[in-house]
Amino acid sequence: MTQRPSYILFITDQHRYDNLGCNGHPVLRTPHIDQMAQEGVNFDRFYVASPVCMPNRASLMTCRMPSSHGVRCLGVPLTHDNVTFVELMRAAGYDTALIGKSHLQNMNNRPVHYKMPVYREGYTAPPADLAVAIRSDFHADEYQYEKPDFYEQDDPQVPLPFYGFDHFDPVTRHGVNTGGNHSVHQRKNAPDIYALRSNDIQFDHDYSCPQAVRTKIPEEHYSTSYIADQTVAFLEARKGNPNPFFLMVSFPDPHHPFNPPGKYWDMYKPEDMPIPQAYLDEGWDAPEYVKIMQRQRAENPQLGQASGVSVAVSQREAQEARALTCGMISMIDDAIGRIRQVASDCDLLENTVQIFTSDHGDHLGDHKLLFKGTEQYDNLTHVPFIWADPNGEKGKRSSEIAQTHDIGTTILEHAKIEESHGMQGEIMTVAGGKGRKAAHIQYETQKPHEAFGDRPRAHSVVMGQWRLTIYHGICQNELFDLENDPGEMVNLWDKSDYAEAKAMMIEQLAEMEIAVANHVPVPTTEA
């Protein structure tokens, strides 16, 4: 048998599809990622399984939907009952490594927003160990390896393997306040820089958008540089190693806060950024949730300074956020260029597939919103995906629909490793599969919202020219014609002329929900 290929998966955080030069951004320059696209296949219709970090990253690892692997929303760690595709690769003889952000476990100690039921007077309340319908051990040590307290130790060591990774160099959180091994490294080797790790310590600037921070941390000490440094060291140590490897390089940027360091802060100007359609279309009838967020921001202009939930912004704030995001992406692109060059210098790319994607997007001013939330717009669910196989097609654009949980099954197929029974990803055509007919997206948050109810949930399907979303709660459902209304400005849900399309999409969503109902564990006898 010929030597199995190796894989490098680059993943960014909160990076929408159109924020790459190769995907049509009119200002942003990403030459190294663009070159990767020229070396392979660039997907124009790649969607997340869930447009938020933990559920979608769990879907990446397990090749399953949130309703199946159990990470429904932020705050729920991925249980070790789940098999990951990385474990399968490790079992097949691959060396496995994750450098950067994992977010398969909780990264902070903030209290939950989830409201437990109030027990009625005169009724016997269940004891604590019976109060939730499924038992969990999320307070056990094995689910605390991304918490801040763990990295306050002098020499924190995560027991390995970590969800299948034999080499794990974690970077938790975002911005200048990253944790994990990055904070440990700074604390030990650059205490003067460590002292600058605060959003309150910054250079003067005139930006007004929420969470714009002109950090005093220099470029060489920023998390993107740390991840590049550690990845370069890992690759250089592999020179001459004949074993195939799977390496995930996971950047916390361009997730807010918007704090590109050094030269990247003013690399792009807000006035050069495209103006979102909602600010140009005076006749746009905004949905109720946008109107609610606009009222909330008017009542509290500081809204959005501390949280990452969708917030209404002005045109100027939107363009500022876009410019700073471009700066953060350019820094990532430079880091990827450095990593690719070192991999080439170490003769590691001849049989290595390079992959690029992100875990979800950001409004960045579209629909006059910033960050992300229960809304299911394309700018949150649609992300980049590039597959560059040295032995595959080159310079191709693909209109094939694919999703995050297809990545692992496609890698396994390409590496000739059988997947676990119960995995739900489809095999993409780059590995000889048939791809998928439609994208299926599930979202839930523990945070109540005036516009979406106490326990917001939204399930969507994207197929052909249509996007349909069913909201659980008080929000109006949505149907958008992506071909004739790519900005998703006109909701067709109540339009009688589109009743047939709506019925077709509802049926498709129902079929996909049934298809991802768990059929594992498997039966042990007939009955």
β 457-463/466-472 pair status:
antiparallel
Which residues have CB under 8 Å from 449's CB, separation 6+?
A: 289, 309, 373, 374, 456
> Cα–Cα distance between 221 and 214 in angstroms, integer?
14
> Cα–Cα distance between 3 and 392 in angstroms, integer?
16
CB 50 within 8 A of CB 441: yes
pLDDT at 164: 98
Going from N- to C-terminal start, the domains of the chain cover 6-109+140-515
3-state SS, residue 83: coil
Written as six digits, the tokens of 476 are 């109006």
Sign (positive or negative) of CA dihedral 149, 223, 37, 53? positive
> Cα–Cα distance between 8 and 95 in angstroms, integer?
12
> Cα–Cα distance between 295 and 9 in angstroms, integer?
41
pLDDT at 308: 87
pLDDT at 307: 86
Question: Position 131: which residue type?
Answer: A
Sign (positive or negative) of CA dihedral 217, 218, 223, 229? negative
What value, to the nearest 5°, has the Cα angle with vertex 364 and ends 182 and 278?
Answer: 175
pLDDT at 358: 98
Q: What is the DSSP string of 384-427?
A: -EEEE-TTS--SEEEEEEEETTHHHHHHHHHTT-PPPTT--PPP
pLDDT at 374: 97
pLDDT at 189: 96
Which residues have CB under 8 Å from 358's CB, separation 6+?
A: 11, 12, 13, 14, 15, 16, 383, 384
- Kindly give the parts of the chain with pLDDT less than 70: 1-2
- Its pTM stands at 0.98
* H helix or E strand, kind and range, residue 444: strand 439-444
Q: List b or e across 86-119, with b for residues whose CB sees 16 or more CB atoms inside 10 angstroms.
A: bbbbbeeebbbbbbbbbbbbbbeeeeeeeeeeee
pLDDT at 3: 86
Which segments within 80-140 are labelled E, that is strand?
A: 95-100
> Cα–Cα distance between 133 and 130 in angstroms, integer?
7
Which segments within 4-122 are labelled E, that is strand?
A: 6-12, 41-47, 95-100
Written as six digits, the tokens of 340 are 């690719």
Q: Which CATH fold topology does 6-109+140-515 show?
A: Alkaline Phosphatase, subunit A (3.40.720)
pLDDT at 2: 61
CB 359 within 8 A of CB 56: yes
Q: What is the 3-state secondary structure (H, E, C) of 210-264?
A: CCECCECCCHHHCHHHHHHHHHHHHHHHHCCCCCCEEEEEECCCCCCCECCCHHH
Burial environment of residue 363 by CB neighbours within 10 A (0 to 12, 13 to 18, 19 or more): buried
pLDDT at 1: 41
Residue at token pair 């589109």: 498
> Cα–Cα distance between 424 and 422 in angstroms, integer?
6
